[in-house]
Structure 1
Amino acid sequence: MTNKDKALFLVQLILGFIFFMHGLGKFQGGISNIAGWFASIGLPAGLAYVVATIELVGGLLMIAGLGTRVVAALFAAVMVGAIATVKGAAGLMGNGTQPGYEFELVLLVVSVFFVLAGPSAISLDRKLFKRGQEQQ
């Protein structure tokens, strides 16, 4: 295993962990409160459940490297939504009262990377389905 393989796996783990923790926080903190907040900013309340599930379940799948490209695409969609609906107005670095979208942008770019590059060498996708190897 090369250092590149190890580095890619580390990024895959951290991306999955970050999304998992955000999803877990939404469910533990009261998903109905999050749904109410979504509704208050003009989004369908039910979308909160979709986002939280993508983050929670998708985070676990990303850690395992299962369905990597699909999960990464869902993560990217969530980040585009967060930037477009909540964070974008404050600008990249924030406006002094609200944080910017620099963190969401990094998560978006890393997610798009996995959509394009596929899973790391240490992933269930590679072990079980031999996916992504032909595109390396």
Structure 2
Amino acid sequence: MVRKEEWGSTLLRVILGIVFLVHGYTKFQGGIGYTVDFFESLGLPGFSAYIVAGIELVGGIALVLGLGTRIVAGLLAIILAVATIKVKLAVGFLGNGQMAGYELDLALFAMAIYLALKSKTFLALDHVIFRKKSVE
């Protein structure tokens, strides 16, 4: 029988996956050039925009499906930490009226860290592929 906590961690995984799937998709949909320019304005190499957008898009799909959850969540936590430090920290917790603050980034970071530390989640394809039958 599946415990409530297992349903909760599965919900976190799927919601985090959807959020990043959409974020990655919009970076490509609007033209990745805008994201490249923004990254360069922050002093980051332009090619890193492709890496981040790819991790968000493919990683989001992987989280929804439950594939490589710990690795993907760890990568997303790194992205969130860098985004918070490089961009959001300066505008404060709730933002400055022109840009959102880091409150959402902090919540997503906590979700990603939780999933990176959790060994398994319910309803994940990893269980089928790697024959994991029980959930902690």
CA distance in 2, matches of 1:35, 1:119: 35
Q: TM-score, normalised by structure 2?
A: 0.91
Residue of structure 2 in register with 1:48 after alignment: 49
Q: Is the 8 A contact 2:91 2:100 kept in 1?
A: yes
CA distance in 2, matches of 1:132, 1:112: 23
The 1:132/1:26 distance shift into structure 2, 3 A limit, reads farther
Residue of structure 1 in register with 2:108 after alignment: 107
Task: Give 1:20 shift.
Answer: 0.2
Q: Unaligned 5+ residue runs, structure 1?
A: none
Q: Unaligned 5+ residue runs, structure 2?
A: none
- The percentage of counterpart residues that share the same residue type is 40
Q: CA RMSD in A?
A: 1.7
Residues 1-136 of structure 1 mapped to structure 2, 5 A cutoff: 1-130=2-131, 136=136
Q: TM-score, normalised by structure 1?
A: 0.91
Paired residues, number: 135
The 1:31/1:16 distance shift into structure 2, 3 A limit, reads same
Instruction: Return structure 1 stretches of 4+ with deviation > 4 angstroms.
Output: 130-134
CA distance in 2, matches of 1:7, 1:42: 38
Task: Give 1:125 shift.
Answer: 1.6
